[in-house]
């Protein structure tokens, strides 16, 4: 049976050919190598039309232009040469589009990313919709790659090297108005007239290349270019610390094309694409992509419909939860607090977040009003009778949370789910007095709720399957990545985080300066260091869970004794302006609070090598992660890797704790822990699960491509 084409051509009465892109049986359009003959076929059909005046590429999908290349196609490459040839195929087909004798216009609605934008760049003109779904970008760097179908060559020529490098090195996606201002698109219009405007642009004929803005022209000269690339390299190194080789290759490919011509640029691009595809960093990032995509598809069938949400508590967490429920999920949310001030605080939280979007022109004032209208509040349970799910975000007090369960069961419907945002209390204890324990579940958000992408969903033994699925569905609608974890103290993320931070504190008590500890872990690949992280989370919050973990798991979770002095000195971190760092003055650069050294009776001196500091902290985390999998705290290595990367910023290029241990080898991890144990104490003793893996020569994943079972796109 002949494969149905994803590209088909029709010619209008005005002699404009319309090529519709519609990948069969897929929600989104993605580019695959198998489509190259199909694209060539429609291009040849167009060439043979005697009176053709122009071409328009448009999507047949309701909400997607082209979301990128199929990542599984890239993942299937077995050598750098395979991947290089794949890039060359893409370059050739884009060159054929660019060489067409008639004007070609890309009519863009929805995501136009990676290979999709490269196709649009091969066209003479581009028009996009003003719709919120429309995004344009080259996100390949986020997979440890660079654009491989001419993107590093055409984008700098269209908008200038400075603007192009900013887009390619960050992978960020632009909204319609941003793309228009930058010169990436020629027009941005309402969706209803997209095709009409594209046809008018095609009828204007071929267009000479537009002159670049003055700033870009200055940077395009030899002297300006040298300054630009030197500055870009320095800024890139400061952000990546050499952990992402793709950034260096992007700079090389762009510069080669500008200095030696587009042909040499294409060769450099394809060569770099091939070699980067084979790097462990890109492999890890691609597997994270497959894992998070697979996770999004779980529990879809079992969830109950959600129409109205309740939130108990108008504090920082309650306000954040209400904000993402309204803004991201688009669901009406009712906040209950014992004080009117609490409700007002939560409402202001949402107003401030939305106002920032209005200021950045990401949202209109009318849009802000529409989203705010979804949030209401009360000091009693009026309006809660028909809430399908109520999220409790009150103080970490067991009796108070049990009281909240009783009140929700009294005032809400029998099917209402009660989800507790707790970071330390067992869900089984919260549900202990419940009339309907099957409706009780944990839903652990991370602060700040609007920024942190992960939630932990924690069923207790009696939680129903429907409750789990419906809670996961809400988290997804809120824009979160959800992992289901076991109901044990610390759950997963805080449990692996606590030993990591504790070890950083021990380095500090040995006299290592605050900034060198943080710098060591940032250079290793974390977005912030462990000391700064503790300040951001709140020293009081961060240490509250340690006694619970110590009681459950033993003295490896015990906080260093001297650390009590920090809490006694009323240091809570950023939230009260007193922590390990100073938060006074207008300086953007955070300064360590040196008065802390005298408080802890230490003389700061940089003695430890940064690599050793990172190793000590990391090995404590890896050892605990191995225990978590062995004890069933996480369902799989995949969930554990996603939880660590999305929850605490574990370096994405390492793929997560389990992929990183597979890369190191269990035997090497055990030997490193044993050496640290002899030097620093029994807390580094390798756990039994790790020892057994090392003896058997087993990995955590059965194979390095275990999670690659989905055809999805991002590049």
Q: Provide the annotated active-site residues.
A: 456
- Quote the CA–CA distance of 490 and 494 in Å, as a whole number: 5
Output 405-411 pairs: Cβ under 8 A, ≥24 positions apart.
405/430, 405/431, 405/433, 405/434, 405/440, 406/433, 406/434, 407/381, 408/310, 408/312, 408/384, 409/434, 409/435, 409/436, 411/381, 411/384, 411/385
3-state secondary structure at position 485: strand
Neighbours of 609 (CB within 10 A): 11
Sorted by sequence, the CB contacts under 8 Å of residue 302 that are 6+ apart come out as 465, 466, 468, 469, 470
User: Scanning the structure block, which residue is given the tokens 């619970």?
Assistant: 548
Omega cis (within 30) before 506: no
Please give the biggest Cα pair distance in the chain. 87
Alpha helices, DSSP H, located in 69-150: 71-75, 80-98, 115-122
The answer to whether 638 and 605 have CB atoms below 8 angstroms apart is: no
Sorted by sequence, the CB contacts under 8 Å of residue 312 that are 6+ apart come out as 318, 335, 336, 337, 390, 391, 392, 393, 394, 404, 408
3-state secondary structure at position 654: helix
Q: What is the dihedral of CA 358, 363, 367, 369, to 10 degrees?
A: -20
Sorted by sequence, the CB contacts under 8 Å of residue 182 that are 6+ apart come out as 159, 163, 174
Count of alpha carbons within 13 angstroms of residue 82, beta-carbon side: 10
Cα 689–Cα 690–Cα 694 angle in degrees, nearest 5: 120
Q: How far is CA 214 from CA 95, 106, 159, 219, 259, in A?
A: 28, 27, 11, 9, 19
The answer to whether 580 and 514 have CB atoms below 8 angstroms apart is: yes
């Amino acid at each position: 049976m002949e494969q149905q084409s994803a590209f088909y051509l029709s010619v209008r009465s005005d002699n404009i050919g319309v090529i519709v892109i519609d990948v069969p049986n897929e929600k989104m359009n993605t580019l695959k190598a198998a489509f190259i003959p199909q694209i060539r076929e429609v291009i040849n059909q167009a060439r043979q039309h005697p009176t053709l005046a122009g071409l328009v590429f448009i999507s047949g999908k309701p909400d997607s232009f082209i979301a990128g290349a199929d990542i599984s196609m890239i993942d299937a490459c077995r050598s750098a040469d395979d991947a290089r040839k794949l890039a060359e195929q893409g370059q050739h087909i884009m060159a054929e589009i660019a060489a067409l004798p008639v004007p070609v216009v890309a009519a863009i609605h929805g995501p136009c990313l990676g290979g999709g934008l490269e196709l649009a760049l091969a066209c003479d003109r581009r028009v996009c919709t003003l719709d919120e779904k429309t995004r344009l970008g080259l996100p390949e760097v986020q997979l440890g790659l660079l654009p491989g179908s001419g993107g590093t060559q055409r984008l700098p020529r269209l908008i200038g090297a400075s603007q192009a490098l900013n887009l390619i090195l960050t992978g960020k996606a632009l909204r319609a108005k941003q793309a228009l201002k930058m010169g990436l698109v020629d027009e941005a219009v309402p969706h209803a007239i997209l095709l009409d405007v594209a046809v008018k642009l095609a009828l204007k004929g071929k267009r000479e290349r537009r002159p670049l803005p003055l700033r870009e022209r200055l940077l395009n000269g030899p002297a300006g270019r040298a300054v630009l690339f030197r500055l870009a390299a320095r800024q890139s190194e400061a952000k990546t610390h050499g952990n992402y080789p793709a950034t260096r290759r992007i700079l090389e490919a762009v510069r080669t094309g500008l200095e030696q011509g587009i042909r040499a640029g294409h060769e450099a691009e394809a060569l770099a694409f091939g070699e980067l595809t084979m790097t462990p960093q890109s492999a890890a990032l691609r597997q994270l992509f497959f894992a998070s995509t697979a996770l999004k598809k779980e529990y879809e069938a079992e969830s109950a419909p959600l129409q109205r949400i309740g939130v108990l508590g108008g504090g920082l967490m309650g306000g954040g939860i209400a904000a993402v429920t309204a803004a991201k999920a688009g669901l009406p949310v009712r906040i209950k607090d014992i004080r009117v001030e609490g409700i007002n605080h939560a409402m202001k939280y949402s107003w401030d977040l939305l106002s920032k979007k209005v200021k950045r022109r990401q949202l209109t004032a009318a849009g802000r009003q529409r989203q705010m209208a979804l949030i209401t509040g009360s000091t009693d349970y009026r309006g809660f009778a028909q809430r399908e799910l109520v999220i409790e975000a009150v103080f970490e007090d067991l009796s108070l949370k049990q009281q909240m369960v009783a009140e929700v069961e009294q005032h809400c419907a029998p099917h209402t789910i009660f989800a507790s945002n707790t970071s330390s209390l067992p869900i089984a204890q919260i549900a202990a007095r419940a009339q309907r324990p099957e409706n009780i579940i944990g839903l652990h958000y991370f602060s700040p709720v609007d920024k942190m992408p992960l939630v932990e969903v924690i069923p207790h033994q009696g939680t129903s399957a429907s409750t789990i699925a419906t809670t996961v569905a809400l988290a997804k609608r809120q824009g979160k990545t959800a992992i289901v974890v076991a109901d044990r103290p610390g759950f997963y993320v805080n449990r692996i985080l606590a030993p990591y931070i504790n070890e950083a504190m021990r380095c500090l008590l040995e006299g290592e300066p605050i900034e060198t500890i943080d710098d060591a872990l940032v250079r290793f690949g974390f977005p912030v260091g462990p000391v700064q992280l503790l300040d951001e989370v709140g020293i009081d919050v961060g240490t509250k869970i340690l006694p619970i973990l110590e009681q459950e798991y033993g003295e490896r979770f015990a906080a260093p004794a001297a650390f009590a002095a920090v809490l006694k000195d009323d240091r809570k971190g950023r939230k009260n302006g007193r922590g390990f760092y100073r938060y006074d003055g207008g300086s953007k650069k955070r300064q360590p609070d040196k008065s802390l050294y005298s408080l802890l009776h230490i003389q700061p001196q940089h003695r430890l090598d940064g690599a050793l500091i990172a190793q000590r902290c990391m090995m404590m985390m890896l050892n605990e992660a191995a225990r978590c999998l062995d004890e069933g705290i996480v369902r799989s290595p995949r969930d554990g890797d996603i939880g660590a990367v999305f929850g605490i910023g574990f370096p994405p290029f390492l793929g997560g704790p389990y992929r990183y241990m597979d890369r190191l080898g269990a035997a090497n991890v055990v030997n490193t822990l044993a050496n640290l144990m002899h030097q620093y104490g029994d807390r580094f003793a390798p756990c039994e699960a790790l020892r057994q893996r090392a003896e058997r020569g087993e990995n955590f994943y059965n194979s390095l491509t275990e999670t690659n079972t989905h055809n999805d796109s991002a590049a």
